[in-house]
Chain A
C-alpha cells in the first residue's frame, strides 16, 4: 500500500475514533442537527481548501483567500443595498470577481516572476482595505450591518432535506476537481508544473498559463465560499474570512498535500477539512473555551508535519535497503 493510502487510512481511523469518543462524551454531538452543522462548517472551509490545494500542488501559496471572501461578501451586499438587480445576476459577477483577483495574482507571479507569497500577501492587504471601504456605512461612517433579505441569495444557506446546500456543492466540487486533476491534461499539467517546472516547460507545458489558471480557481473557490457564508449569516461583514487562511492551510496540510509541490489530491483535503471541523466542533461540545481552537489547530499542523517528515525519512531508508537487497539478489542470480 502506498504511503498516502496508509496516511489516509490513519486519518479516517482517527476521524471515526474521535467521533466515537465525542459521541460518548457529549450527548448533543451525535445528533443529526449537530452533524449537519459540522458538515456545513467543514464545507465552507473545504470549498476554499479545494482551490488552495491546487495552488499548493504547483508549489505556490495563496494568502489572499481570506480577503477574497471579505471583498466578495461586500460586493454582494453593495449590489443588494444599492441596486435592484436579482441575485442570479450579481452572484456570477461576484464569482467572476474572485477569478479576476486570482488572475491578477497569477499575472504578477508569472509575468514579473515575483514570489507567490509576497504577491498574494499584497493583494490580501489591498483587498482587506477595499472591503472596509466598500462596506455600507451609516451616517457616522460606521460599518452598517446590512441584513440580506434577497430570497434567492438567502436560499443558498438552506438545506435540501437535512443536508445544507453548501455541503452538496462542496462534495460535487471536490469530485469534479479530483476528476480534473487526475483525468485531464490540464490537471496533469498542474502536477507537472509543481513537480518540476523546467522539465514541464521542456515537455511543452505552458506553465505560466497553468499557474494563472490555478490562482484563478483559488479566487473562484474563495468567492463561492463567501456567498454561502453570507447567505448562512444572512449578513455580510468586511472582516468575513479574514484569518480563515489558518483553517484552510491546516485542512490541506492535514490532508497530505505538502508545500513542496507536485503531490496531493482533493480527497486528502476533504478528509483534512472534516478532521479539522470535527476537532473544532468537539472543542465546543466538550464545553472548552473556543479560544483554544487556534492553539489546537496550530498544534495539529506541527504534529502532522513532523509525522510526515519522519515517515518520509523512514520510507526512503527502507526503499534504499530494499533496493540494495534486490541488487544483491540479482548478483547471486548471475
Chain B
C-alpha cells in the first residue's frame, strides 16, 4: 500500500482475547483519508478493544495493521502511535490541571528561544492563539484548564492532537457529558477536521449523531465485524438492527409503567441543595422500582447521596416510614436502607479484603456482641448467605473481592445489603462494566427484591435498563425534576428527549 493510497488505516484479521473468551475475532477495519467513520456496537461488542489495539494501549493476538502505508508492529505503544499521527480524544481528559491552554497544547514540545533551553512563553501563547483562531474556537491561550467547562477542555485536547500533526483522531463517546449546544459545536469542529483532511473515528451510542455525521459506519457485534455501511445505506433503524442482530420490536423499546399501591417508604419534599438540586419532591412505595434518568451531571447521584445521608442539603423534608427523617449514613443503614454506589471500585468494594470482610463491614451490628467483638462464625454465616442468595462465583468467601469479575463484585456490594432487613435499596448505575449474563442476574435480583416489598430506586444512564426495570421513571435535568413517567408506555426515546431538555416540541 503506497502513501497516497486512499486508505489511511487498514486492519486485517484482528484477534484479541484477554486470557479468556475472544473479545475480537478476525475483525477487518479500514479508514479512508478524510472521512468521518463511526464505529458502533452494543456494550461489549469490542469497540474499545479495537481502539486500544490501534492506539497501542493493548497488543493484538493476531492480524495486521497498516497505517499510512507502514506496517504497525504488534509490540506497539501509545507514544509510538502518537508519533505516527493517531490521537485519541479521551472522555476522561488527559490534560494537566493548573496549566494554561497553551502549555497543554505544547507540552513536551514548547517553543524555545533560539539556542537556549528557555521556553519562549510569548511565542508559545502566540502560536497557540493562532491555532485557536484558525479553527475559530472560543478560547484564550492563557486560560487555565481548571476554569474551562468540559466541552472546551475537549477542544484543547483536539488542539493538542492537531499540534501533533495527527492524521487520525479517535473520539470515544465525545458528547456523553456535553449539552446539545456544545455537541453541535463539536460536530462543527469534526466537520472542520474532515475538511482539513483528517480522518475521524467516531464512537457513540447516540444514533442520530452517527447518522448525521458519518461517511461510513462499521458495525461490530460480539467481537465480530457485522458489516460496513456506505453513506447511502446509513439509517438509524438499520444500524440498530445490525447492532442487535434483529429489529427492535415495538414492545422491546417501549415499556408500560405500572402503578404500585404499596405503602410509601420514603417521601422527599422540596429538597434543595445550592447549585446541585432544586425543589425535588417524590415518593417511593413498597414493592416499587423507581427509576431516575437524566444525563451525566443532572444531579441524580447528588440526590441519592443526599437522601442516603452522605452529603447534606440546604432545605427540604424527608419522611421515612411515616416519620420525619434527617438522613445520616449510620441512621440510614440502621433504618433499613441499602446503597449501591456509582463507582464500584472506589466506593463499593474493598478490593484487598475478602468477601467475608466486605459483607461483614456493613453488618457489624449483626455479627458482633455488645462488647464490640466480632464473631467469626456469624460473619461467615452472613457471607455464605449473601453468596448463595446472589450466586457469587467463585462461591468462596475468602476470595479477595478485587479478584472477582465486575459482575460478581457488584453482587457482593448488593449482597451486603440483601442479608439485612432491607426496606429501601438505592442502586446507582447497577450494571456499569459488567457482562450481559451478570446484568440479567442483577435485573432479576432487583425485580425479586421489589416483589418482596422492598422499595428500590434505580439510577441509570442505560436507557434500555432503566425502562426495563422501572415501574415509574423520573427524569432529572440540571438538578430539577423535568418529567415523570408514571403511567402508559414509555420508550427509551421519550426518556432521552426529556433528559436532553426536549419536552413537547420545545427546548427547555
Q: Does A278 contact B (CB under 8 A)?
A: no
A204→B79 contact, CB < 8 A: yes
Indicate if A203 sits at the interface (CB-CB under 8 A): yes
Please give, as numbers and ranges, the residues of chain A lying within 8 Å of B275 by CB-CB distance: 320-321, 324
Instruction: Indicate whether A84 reaches chain B with its CB closer than 8 angstroms.
Output: no
A183 near B121 (CB under 8 angstroms)?
Answer: yes
Specify which chain B residues have a CB less than 8 angstroms from the CB of A323 in the assembled complex: 149
**A192 pairs with B118, CB closer than 8 A:** no
Task: Report yes or no: B94 in contact with A183, Cβ–Cβ below 8 A.
Answer: no
Q: A166: shortest Cβ distance to chain B, in Å?
A: 27
Number of B residues near A (Cβ < 8 Å) is 23
Does B117 interact with chain A (Cβ within 8 Å)?
yes
Q: Does B22 contact A (CB under 8 A)?
A: no
Cα-based distance from A203 to B275 in the complex (angstroms):
34
Question: Do residues B147 and A204 form an inter-chain contact, with CB atoms below 8 A?
Answer: no
Residue of B nearest to A184 (CB): B117
Contact A192 B117, beta carbon cutoff 8 Å: no
Q: Is B205 an interface residue (CB 8 A)?
A: no
A192-B104 Cα distance, complex, nearest whole Å = 9
Q: Which residues of A contact B160 (CB under 8 A)?
A: 203
Alpha-carbon distance between A205 and B96 when the two chains are bound, in angstroms: 12
Q: Which residue of A lies closest to B79 (CB)?
A: A204
CB pair A188–B110 under 8 Å, yes or no, is yes
B95: which of A183, A199, A205, A263 is its contact (CB, 8 Å)? A199
Question: How far is A320 from B276 in the complex, measured between Cα atoms in Å?
Answer: 11
Within the assembled complex, what's the spacing in Å between the Cα atoms of A262 and B98? 7
Most chain A CB neighbours (cut-off 10 Å) among B108, B117, B149 = B108
For chain A, which range describes its interface: under 10, 10 to 19, 20 to 34, or 35 or more residues?
20 to 34
Instruction: Specify which chain A residues have a CB less than 8 angstroms from the CB of B119 in the assembled complex.
Output: 183-185, 188
What B residues does A188 contact at CB under 8 A? 99, 103, 107-108, 110, 119
Query: Is A37 in contact with chain B by the CB < 8 A criterion?
Result: no
B65-100 vs A: 1/0 string, CB under 8 Å?
A: 000000000000011001000000000011111110
- B:352-381 near A, CB below 8 Å: none
Of all chain B residues, the one with the shortest Cβ separation from A185 is: B110
A183: chain B residues within 8 A (beta carbon) = 118-119, 121
> Which partner residue on chain B sits nearest A330 by CB separation?
B181
Q: Mark A308-330, 1 if CB is under 8 A from B, else 0.
A: 00000000000111011000000
User: Which of B96, B98, B119, B121 counts the most chain A CB atoms within 10 A?
Assistant: B96
A204 to B81, CA, bound (A): 11
Contact partner, B96, options A199, A204, A320, Cβ 8 Å: A199
- B118 to A203, Cβ gap below 8 A? no
Please give the distance in Å from B117's CB to the nearest CB on chain A: 5
The one of B78, B96, B117, B149 that contacts A195, using a Cβ cutoff of 8 Å = B96
Interface of B is mostly: loop
| Alpha-carbon distance A192/B96, docked complex (angstroms) | 6
A184–B119 Cα distance when bound, in Å, is 5
Q: Tell me the nearest residue of chain A to B121, going by C-beta.
A: A183
Given contacts A185-B119, A204-B82, contact A191 B108 (CB under 8 A): no
User: With an 8 A cutoff between CB atoms, is A120 at the interface?
Assistant: no
Distance (Å) between the CB of A311 and the closest chain B CB? Answer: 15
Instruction: Answer whether A262 and B117 are a contact pair too, CB < 8 Å, given A185-B110, A192-B107.
Output: no
Give every chain A residue within 8 A of B118 (Cβ-Cβ): 179, 183-184
Chain A residue contacts of B97, Cβ below 8 A:
195-196, 262
Distance to closest chain B CB from A173 (angstroms)? 17
A200 partner, pick from B78, B96, B103, beta carbons under 8 A: B96
Residue of A nearest to B113 (CB): A183
Q: Mark out the residues of chain A between 121 and 135 whose CB falls within 8 Å of any chain B CB in the assembled complex.
A: none
Q: How far is the CA of A321 from the CA of B276 in the complex (A)?
A: 11
Indicate if A198 sits at the interface (CB-CB under 8 A): yes
| Nearest chain B residue, comparing its CB with the CB of A261 | B98
CA distance A186 to B112 in the complex (A): 12
In the bound complex, CA of A103 to CA of B110 (Å)? 27
Complex interface: chain A residues within 8 A of B98 (CB) = 191, 195, 262-263
B179 to chain A, nearest CB (A): 10
Chain A residues 279-334 with CB under 8 Å of chain B are 319-321, 323-324
Q: Find out whether the CB atom of B94 lies under 8 angstroms from the CB atom of A203.
A: yes
Task: Enumerate chain B residues within 8 angstroms of A263, measured Cβ to Cβ.
Answer: 98
Contact partners of B82 in chain A: CB under 8 A: 204
Contact bitstring A196-237, B, C-beta under 8 A = 1, else 0: 101110111100000000000000000000000000000000
Residues on A with C-beta less than 8 A from B79 are: 204
Beta-carbon nearest neighbor of B82 in chain A: A204
Which residues in window 127-167 of B have CB below 8 A to A?
147, 149, 160
Give chain A interface residues in 160-190, CB to chain B under 8 Å.
179, 183-186, 188-189
Q: Closest 6 CB pairs between A and B?
A: A199-B94, A203-B107, A192-B96, A195-B96, A204-B108, A183-B118
- Can you list 5 A-B pairs, Cβ within 8 angstroms, ordered by A? A188-B107, A200-B107, A202-B94, A262-B96, A319-B147
Residues of B at the A interface (CB closer than 8 Å) are 78-79, 82, 93-99, 103, 107-108, 110, 112, 117-119, 121, 147, 149, 160, 275
Q: A interface vs B, CB < 8 Å?
A: 179, 183-186, 188-189, 191-192, 195-196, 198-200, 202-205, 262-263, 319-321, 323-324
Beyond A183-B118, A183-B121, A203-B96, 15 additional contacts (C-beta under 8 Å) are A183-B119, A185-B112, A188-B108, A192-B99, A192-B107, A196-B97, A198-B94, A199-B93, A200-B107, A262-B96, A262-B98, A263-B98, A320-B275, A321-B275, A323-B149
